[in-house]
Amino acid sequence: MRLWAVVEHDKPLECLTLPDPEPMGTEVVLAVTHCGVCRSDLNLWKGEYDLGGGQTMRVADRGVEFPRAPGHEVVGTVVAVGPDAEGVRIGDSRVVYPFIGCGRCDRCRAGEENLCDQQTILGIMRHGGFSSQVVVPDPRYLFDYGSVEPAFAATLACAGTTAFSAISKLYPLDHDRPVLLIGAGGVGSTALRMLHALGHRRIIVVDLSPGKRAAALAAGATHALDGADPAIVEAVKEAAGGPLLAAIDVVNHPSTAGMALEALSKGGKLVLVGVGRGALEVSLVSMILKPRSIIGSVTGSLGDLRDVIALAQTGRLKPLPMVTMHWDEANAAMERLRDGSVDGRIVIET
Ligand SMILES: [Zn+2]
Ligand SMILES: [Zn+2]
């Protein structure tokens, strides 16, 4: 197999050749046909996360070894199955659940492999969709996406599942209650479309980019506000008709999370999704006098991916704009994402 791999941080990906994998036990091998490019792929490439307060976490501390092919939004065709793999046949086209857990702990047994402490995530701890073939440990990570366009189906594995999981944490929430959504990039615009598909009628988007704000309005946002406005908290409250009960921050910087927290009413929930940067100082007294919840959300469960695919199959969940590039343009795809010059999701195709 060939793989576009990170060999050294911040250096161009290199095209390497390795022997084709031989599946053992319940393993399944897929030939990659589509792979979405996500901001987490850039983090892998960059090699560290800014934790705030001058602290950083290195990707290597998450058990990542190089060379590594990134890519965790994968659709592929089954090309080999292990002797104990059931329910999947050669030639099947499937979307892959990438947040692979240990399969043995309480969280994994509950289907929440995204919360497992011993994950081996596709494209981070094992080769992902920037490799021409991926190995999954078990057919339960493979989902039939039916009539959904395969490039769109690929984005459901991370952007879709992550957005769905974040929105779920706002519930119970009446569909007429306004929802603040900060960030209209890949996951953000997926969340916007998903809120819409789930019946939410008042969605206030905040983004710095005029282009992304215009796209958000076209995709069903009721308001699209400029995050650089010094009076953004007031502008959000005015758009919402008062303080809000629900906010999702896909950017997750101190300024955006702080703004969202200020815009919330008593009992409001702020769900943090994006791997942003920095730290937030929170007045503990204010968290009592004006009680609110800050909820971290990382990707989604196997059930979330199943539900998102079902939602896409109804046709109510609209795809975000797709920019397709050839799989061999992996470096150019990463650079375009890093430069922020893309509205929507880049999907590389073989
Ligand atoms: Zn991702
Ligand atoms: Zn586990």
Cβ contacts of 231 within 8 Å, gap of 6 or more = none
CATH, residue 238: 3.40.50.720
- Distance (Å) from CA 98 to ligand 2 centroid: 14
**Are the C-beta atoms of 29 and 96 separated by less than 8 Å?**
no
Query: Any idea which ligand is nearest the CA of 112?
Result: 2
Q: What's the confidence (pLDDT) of residue 186?
A: 82
Q: Please, what's the largest Cα pairwise distance for the chain?
A: 62
Domain tally, the chain: 2
Within a domain: residue 317? yes
Query: Any idea which ligand is nearest the CA of 98?
Result: 1
Is 246 in the same domain as 313?
no
Ligand 1 ion: nearby residues, β-carbon < 5 Å: 38, 40, 158
Is 155 in the same domain as 226?
no
Q: What's the confidence (pLDDT) of residue 15?
A: 97
- Distance (Å) from CA 118 to ligand 2 centroid: 6
Is 8 in the same domain as 155?
yes
Beta strands, E only, 84-233: 93-96, 133-136, 142-143, 179-182, 203-207, 223-226
Query: Any idea which ligand is nearest the CA of 185?
Result: 1
- Distance (Å) from CA 72 to ligand 1 centroid: 6
Angle at 271 between CA 340 and CA 225, to 5 degrees: 50
Q: Which two tokens stand for residue 220?
A: 């069903």
Is 11 in the same domain as 153?
yes
- Distance (Å) from CA 128 to ligand 1 centroid: 11
The domain in which residue 182 lies consists of 170-296
Ligand 2 ion: nearby residues, β-carbon < 5 Å: 101-102, 105, 108, 116
**Are the C-beta atoms of 236 and 204 separated by less than 8 Å?**
yes
Within a domain: residue 165? no
Query: Any idea which ligand is nearest the CA of 129?
Result: 1
Is 108 in the same domain as 44?
yes
- Distance (Å) from CA 187 to ligand 1 centroid: 8
Q: What is the DSSP letter of 20?
A: P
Within a domain: residue 164? no
Q: What's the confidence (pLDDT) of residue 159?
A: 93
Q: What is the residue-level pLDDT of the chain in tens, covering all 350 positions?
A: 999 999 998 899 999 999 999 999 999 999 999 999 998 899 889 888 777 778 888 877 777 889 999 999 999 999 999 999 999 999 999 999 999 999 999 999 999 999 999 999 999 999 999 999 999 999 999 999 999 999 999 999 999 999 999 999 999 999 999 999 999 988 899 999 999 999 999 999 999 999 999 999 999 999 999 999 999 999 999 999 998 999 999 999 999 999 999 999 999 999 999 888 889 999 999 999 999 999 999 999 999 999 999 999 999 999 988 999 999 999 999 999 988 777 778 999 99
Q: What's the confidence (pLDDT) of residue 248?
A: 98
CA dihedral 128→300→158→160, nearest 10 degrees, is 150
- Distance (Å) from CA 117 to ligand 2 centroid: 6
Is 153 in the same domain as 176?
no
Q: What's the confidence (pLDDT) of residue 64?
A: 85
Is 105 in the same domain as 138?
yes
Report helix, strand or coil for 208: coil
| Bridge partner list, 94 | 76
Is 292 in the same domain as 304?
no
Query: Any idea which ligand is nearest the CA of 137?
Result: 2
- Distance (Å) from CA 203 to ligand 1 centroid: 23
Q: Is 21 left (phi over 0), alpha (psi -120 to 50) or beta?
A: beta
Is 142 in the same domain as 16?
yes
Is 13 in the same domain as 147?
yes
